[in-house]
Structure 1
Amino acid sequence: LLQKIFDELLGPGVAAPLLSAGAAGERAAPFLAWLEGLYAAARETAVRWGISPAAAVPALVLLALAAKNVFSYVSEAVLNTIGLAMVRDLRRDAYDRLLHQSSRFYSEASTGDLLSRMLSDVELVQTAFGNRLTDLLQGAVTIVVVLAYVFSLDPRLALVVFVGAPIILLPIVEVTRRLRRTTYAARERIGEMGALLSETLRAQRVIKTYGMEPFEAERFARANDRYFRANRRTIQIQALNSPMMELLAGIGLVGLLLYTATEIRGGRMTVGGFVSFLAALMMLYKPVKDVTKINMVLQLALAAARRVFELMDRASEIAEKPEARELPSFAQAVRFEGVSFRYGDATVLEKVDLTIHRGETVALVGPSGAGKTTLANLLPRLYDPTGGRVTLDGVDLRDATLDSVRRQVSLVTQETVLFDASLRENIAYGQPGAAEERVHAAAGAAYADEFIRSLPEGYDTRVGEDAARLSGGQRQRLAIARALHKNAPILILDEATSQLDAESESLVARALANLMRDRTTLVIAHRLSTVRRADRIVVLDRGRIVESGTHQELLTRGGLYRRLHEMQFFEAGADTEPARSGDAQGARGTARSLDELARERKVVSEREEP
C-alpha cells in the first residue's frame, strides 16, 4: 500500500498536476526528472540488495523521518546551547566590568537600572538569540535554496525581481529602525521602575513611618504608565510586520505581472515559463515572512543588548598600568602630595598635603562635605586624584598594581556591609580557606566570639540579607573581626561608632583598640569625643587643611576645631561628653548647638569670603 501511494504521488502521471497547470510546462520538467531519477535509483538499490521494493519504500520513509528528526534535535540543541553560552559569557563579562568600576560610577548609577541591565536585559538577549537563532538559520537556509532554484529557472527575470526588492523593502528597514528605538526606550522605563522598586525596598521603614504609601504608589504608577506607553508603541510597530509584508508582496507581484505581461507580448517569455517562475517565487514568501518576524524579536534583543554593552563599554576610571609593579608591605609613610579632587564641577579637595607615618593615628575632622571621606577613599584607590598624587613609601599608587595597593588597607565604616553567607565566611572574606583558628582569634579580639557561639549554628550561621537578625553592635564587631583577619598594615575607620548605643559602643571601642594596635590608622569622625587620643587631628574645611595638631593644641588655638568642639558640648570650653539621646536636657542642648553651629558656619563663611 505504501509503495502504491509512493508511486502515485511521485509518478510522472500525478506529480505534474500537483504543481498546477502552468508549472507542468517545460520549466518544471528538470525538477520532475530529478524526482523520477531519485525514485528509480531507490528501486534499483533495493533490488540489488535483495530487498522487496514494497519493504524498501517504508524503510526509506522511516529512515528519512529518523534522519530529519535527529538532525532537528541536534541542530536545535546545539544552536540553543551556543546561544546560552553566548549569553552566559555576556553576563559574566558584564559583571566583571561592573566589579571593576570606580566608586564614582556607583555613586552616579542607579542600583535598579544596573539590576535591570544585568538580569532583565541579558535575559531578553538570551530568549531571542537562544530560542530564535535556530529559526533564523533555518529560514535563511530555505531562502538561499529557493533563490538558487529561482535563478536556475530564469536568471534574467530573477535578477529583475531582486534588483527591485530592496526598494520595496525600504519601509521594513524604517520600521526596524523605529522598533529598535522604541524598544530601547521601553527597556529604559523598566530600568526606571527597577530603580524605584529598589529604593522602596530600602526605605520601607521610612515610607511606613511617614505614611507615604499613597505617594509612593502613585509614583510607581506613573513610572509603570510610562513603561506601558513605551511598550505600547513597540507593540504597535511589531503589529505592522504582517500587513506590511503582505502589502509589499502585493505591490511587488503587481509590478512583476506588469513587467512579464510586456515580456510575454513581446515573445520573450511564455505563459508557462512565467507561471513556473511565479510558483517557485511564491515559495519564498513564508520563509521571508518568518525571517522578518524573527527580525522583530531580534530588534528587541538588540535594544536590550545595547544597554548591556553600554555598561561593558564604559571604561573604568581606576585603570592599572601595564607596567604596574607590586608594592611591598607598608613600612614608612603615606603621603598626599598636592592632592586635588573634583566631582563634576565641584571642588572636593584642593591641594592637600598630608603625611601619615607608620604606626601613627591621624583623625580627619571637619564639617560635612569638607572632603574627609573622599581623602580617605584615595588611599585604597577607590578614586584617583584629579591633581597631585598619593604615595606609599614613595611609590605613586597609580604606578602599583591595584591588588598590592588594596592588600595594604582595611576598612571599617558606619554602614557595615555583611554578605549573605556564614559568619565564618564573612570574617574570612577575601581569604577563602582560612584556618579556623585565625577566624576564631579575629572574632575573639573583636569581642564577637561570645555572641557567635551563642547562636544555634555558631560560625556556620548564615547572616541573611542585610544581616537583619543581628544588632548594630554585632554587625560592627563582625566588620572589625574581618579587618583583624585581613591584618592589613593600614586601617581606615569611617565613623565606625557613630550609630551605636552606649553598651555596643563600649564593646566596639575595645574591639577597635585591638584593631588599631600597631597599625597606621586614619580615623574619620564627626563626634570629636572619639578622636581625642589620636596622635594628630587634621581639620578639613571646604577641601583644604585648615588646622593640624593634638586635641589640646587645637583647643588652645581657638580655630575651627574649637568652635566645632564647643558646638558639640553644652557649654563653651566644657570638656565633658554630651548627654545621651535619652536625656531630655541633652537633647535640648544638642538641638541648640546645631542651630548655633549653623549660625557659626554662616559667620565663618562670610569672614572667609575674599
Structure 2
Amino acid sequence: MKVSPYIKRLVEYHRPYKNRLILAFLGMLVTAATEPIVAYIFKVLLDHGFVENPTFPLWLVPVAVIGAFVARGASTFLTTYMMSWVSTRVLNELRQTMFDRILHVGIDFTSVKSTGSTINSIMFEVQQIIDMVTKIFISMIRCTLTIAGLLAYMLYISWSLTIIALVLMPLMTFLVRLTGKRLKRLNKDSLTVNAELTQVIEETTRAQQVVKIFGGQAYERQRFHERAEKLRRYSMRMVSVFAATVPLTQIMTACAMSVMIMLALIQASQNQITVGGFISFFTAMIALLAPLKQLAEVNGPLQRGMAAAEAVFHLIDSPIERTTGRDLPARAQGNLSFVDVGFRYREQERAALTDINLEIGAGQTIAFVGMSGGGKTTLVNLIPGFYSASAGKILLDGTWLEEISLSSLRKQIAMVSQHVVLFDDTVVANIAYGDPEPDMERVLGAIKAAYLDDVVAGLPQGVQTPLGDNGSRLSGGQRQRMAIARAIYKNAPILILDEATSALDTESERAVQAALDQLMKNRTTLVIAHRLSTIERADRIVVLSEGRIVEVGSHQELLDKQAAYANLYRMQFSGDGKQ
C-alpha cells in the first residue's frame, strides 16, 4: 500500500515528540486491555459468584471493577493529554511554517492565491489536518488494540462464534473504501468553496466604505449567500455519505450478532459454553461495536484532513524569493545603472519592459511618467528585487543586483507608496518598523521632519498610541506623512516614491510634499508621478510608453521638445483628459 507523501511529512513533524507519543500509545494499550478484563469479570461473576458458595472473597468484586475503571480513566487521560500536547505543538509549527513561507514568497504570490484562501489555509485547513492526525492516532490505534484484545478473548471463549464476528471486518473494509473516494473529492471541493466564502468576508470587511457609498450591500449579500449555500450543499453531501456509513455498519453487525446468538444457544444446549461464558462473550462483542463504529467514522476526518493537507503543503511549498547573493560591505552611494533591461510577467506574451538603458547618479531625483500601463511601476519594482529582470542588468554602484542578497539590497531602499500600509500598533512601532530596538531620538526626529508634531501631540498616548486598523485614527494626509516618517527613520540612500501624493487633496498634498522635500535630501530618489506639477524640479524626467523609454530630460527641455511629455502636460492641465 502506497503511503501518501503528505502522511510522511506529517510523520516528520511528529517525530521530535516520539517520547510523548509513546506515552500516549501506552495509555491506549492500557485502555484497550481493560475492555476484555471487564468482560472477564462478568464471566467470573456469573459462573462462580452467583452460586451458593462463591469461590472468591466478595470484597474482590468492587476492587476489581473500580480498579479496572480507574486504570481505564487514568490511561484515557494520559492518552488525551499527551496527544493534545503534541497536536497543539504541531499545529503551531505548521502555522509558523506557513506564515514564514508567506513572508518569503515572491511579490506575485497573491496573483495565484487570494488573501482569503491564504487565511483559510492557515486558520482552518491546518486545523483539519491536526484533527485528522489526532482522530486517526487515537481511533485507529486504540480501536485496533481494543479490537485485537477483545477478539483474542472471544477466541478464548468460543472460536466458532468469533469466526462469525470476523466476517464483519472485510465487509466494513469494503464499505470504507467505497465511500472514501467520494468523501475525499467532496472535501476537496468544499475546502475550495470555504476559501471563496472567506475571501468574500475579507473583501467586504476591508471595503466597508466602498460597499456603503456605492450601495453594494445587496450584491455582497448575494455573493455571501451563494457561496454559503454552495458550502452548505457540499456539507450535506458529505453528511449523507458519512451518515450512511454508520447505519450500514450497524446493520451488518446486527446480522452477525443474530447468527452468533443462534449458534450460542445451540452450543449451550450441548454444554459447550456456560451462561457466564456466553454473557461474557456477548459483553465483549457489544464492546467491540464501539471501536468498530469509531473505525468506520475515521474515514470522514481522514479524507477532510488529506484534502486540507494538499492545500497546506502546497502553500508551504510555494516558491520563495532568491536567497543568493552577498551582503554589501557598507552603505551604498546610490548610483543606479539600467543596461538593456527587459521584463516579462509570467504567463504574459507581451513584454512589460524592453531595452531600458538609464544612468542615475547618486543623489539625483528621477521622475518616471507616462500613460497607465507604460511600465513605470514595473521598472521601479525591479530595484528592490520584487521581480528579477528577464533580460539585461541593473547595477547598484557597479554591482549587479542579482549578486547582492535581497536583505542587504533592501536595507539601501525606502519606499513611500500611494497605498499606505500602517499596522495596528503604536506610532513608534509603525515609524521604526523592522527595528527591534527603536531609537526614540530618531523616531522623534522623523516625526518632526514629516510635520507630524501636532498630530502626535494630539493623540491620547502620544507616540505610544495605537493607530488602529491600517491607521484608521489618522486622516489620509496624516497616514501618508506617517509612511514618510517611516522612510525618514530608515535613512536609506535610495528612495522610491510611487505616486505618493496622488490620492490627496491640495492642502494635504502641500503638507506631504513639504515632508517629501525633507525626505529626498541627499538621496537617490525615483518618483512615479501622477501630478506632473510635483516633478518639475526633478533632475531628469523619464517618459515611458509601452515599456520603452521614449524621452529623457528636464521639465523645461521636454516641454521645449513638444513631444510625448509636452502632450501629457497639456492633457493634464488643459482638462481634456487624465494621465
Partner residue of 2:32? Answer: none
1:325 correspondence with 2:326: yes
Name the aligned partner's letter for residue 14 of structure 1: L
1:487 to 488, 491, 499: 491
Distance 1:164 1:227, change over 3 A: closer
Distance 1:472 1:288, change over 3 A: same
1:203 to 207, 211, 214: 207
Deviation at 1:167, TM superposition (A): 6.7
Partner residue of 2:542? Answer: 538
Name the aligned partner's letter for residue 544 of structure 1: R
Distance 1:62 1:396, change over 3 A: same
Q: Aligned partners of 1:281 and 1:60: how far apart in 2?
A: 21
1:560 correspondence with 2:567: no
Question: Within 5 A, what are the aligned runs for 1:585-596?
Answer: 590=575, 592-594=576-578
Structure 1 vs Structure 2: percent identity of aligned residues?
A: 37
1:341 to 343, 347, 354: 343
Name the aligned partner's letter for residue 320 of structure 1: T
Q: Aligned partners of 1:500 and 1:97: how far apart in 2?
A: 35
Question: Within 5 A, what are the aligned runs for 1:76-475?
Answer: 76-130=80-134, 133-149=137-153, 165-166=169-170, 169-249=173-253, 284-316=288-320, 318-321=321-324, 324-328=325-329, 329-331=331-333, 333-343=335-345, 344-345=347-348, 346-475=350-479
Question: Runs of 4 or more off by more than 3 Å in structure 1?
Answer: 8-13, 15-18, 53-68, 123-137, 146-168, 246-257, 270-285
Question: Within 5 A, what are the aligned runs for 1:489-508?
Answer: 489-508=493-512
Deviation at 1:540, TM superposition (A): 0.8
Q: Aligned partners of 1:512 and 1:407: how far apart in 2?
A: 19
Q: Aligned partners of 1:78 and 1:64: how far apart in 2?
A: 21
Distance 1:146 1:13, change over 3 A: closer
Distance 1:55 1:230, change over 3 A: closer
Deviation at 1:350, TM superposition (A): 1.9
CA contact (8 A) 2:428 2:438 kept: no
Deviation at 1:468, TM superposition (A): 1.9
SS in 1 for 2:175: helix
Deviation at 1:314, TM superposition (A): 1.7
SS in 1 for 2:357: strand
Deviation at 1:303, TM superposition (A): 2.2
Give the stretch that moved more between structures: 159-168 or 399-408.
159-168
Q: Aligned partners of 2:160 and 2:65: how far apart in 1?
A: 38
Q: Aligned partners of 1:97 and 1:148: how far apart in 2?
A: 49
CA contact (8 A) 1:367 1:526 kept: no
Q: Aligned partners of 1:467 and 1:80: how far apart in 2?
A: 38
Distance 1:13 1:113, change over 3 A: closer
Deviation at 1:539, TM superposition (A): 1.0
CA contact (8 A) 1:492 1:521 kept: yes
Distance 1:281 1:455, change over 3 A: closer
Deviation at 1:136, TM superposition (A): 4.1
Q: Aligned partners of 2:61 and 2:272: how far apart in 1?
A: 37
1:14 correspondence with 2:17: no
Q: Aligned partners of 2:66 and 2:198: how far apart in 1?
A: 53
CA contact (8 A) 2:106 2:319 kept: no
Q: Aligned partners of 1:284 and 1:61: how far apart in 2?
A: 19
Give the stretch that moved more between structures: 476-485 or 119-128.
119-128
Give the stretch that moved more between structures: 380-389 or 86-95.
380-389
Name the aligned partner's letter for residue 379 of structure 1: I
Q: Aligned partners of 1:192 and 1:122: how far apart in 2?
A: 17
Of structures 1 and 2, the one scoring higher in RCO (CA 8 A, sep 6+) is: 2
Q: Aligned partners of 1:70 and 1:380: how far apart in 2?
A: 59
Distance 1:169 1:554, change over 3 A: same
Deviation at 1:497, TM superposition (A): 0.9
5+ unaligned residues in a row in structure 2: which ranges? 1-37
SS in 1 for 2:352: strand
Name the aligned partner's letter for residue 230 of structure 2: R
SS in 1 for 2:460: coil
SS in 1 for 2:351: strand
**What are the superposed Cα offsets for residues 500-520 of structure 1, whole Å, 9 maximum, x if unpaired?**
122221121111111111111
Q: How many pairs align?
A: 528
Distance 1:69 1:531, change over 3 A: same
Q: Aligned partners of 2:108 and 2:139: how far apart in 1?
A: 43
Name the aligned partner's letter for residue 484 of structure 2: I
Distance 1:349 1:272, change over 3 A: farther
Q: Aligned partners of 1:164 and 1:154: how far apart in 2?
A: 17
Q: Aligned partners of 2:394 and 2:170: how far apart in 1?
A: 61
Deviation at 1:524, TM superposition (A): 0.5
Give the stretch that moved more between structures: 485-494 or 351-360.
351-360
5+ unaligned residues in a row in structure 1: which ranges? 1-5, 19-38, 44-52, 265-269, 571-589, 598-610
SS in 1 for 2:537: coil
Distance 1:161 1:357, change over 3 A: farther
CA contact (8 A) 1:154 1:277 kept: no
SS in 1 for 2:108: helix
Q: Aligned partners of 2:380 and 2:136: how far apart in 1?
A: 51
TM-score by length of 2: 0.81
Give the stretch that moved more between structures: 119-128 or 448-457.
119-128
Q: Aligned partners of 1:11 and 1:154: how far apart in 2?
A: 13
Name the aligned partner's letter for residue 354 of structure 2: E
Q: Aligned partners of 1:441 and 1:484: how far apart in 2?
A: 9
Distance 1:140 1:563, change over 3 A: same
**RMSD (CA atoms):** 3.6
CA contact (8 A) 1:365 1:524 kept: yes
CA contact (8 A) 1:407 1:488 kept: yes
SS in 2 for 1:523: strand
Give the stretch that moved more between structures: 477-486 or 69-78.
69-78
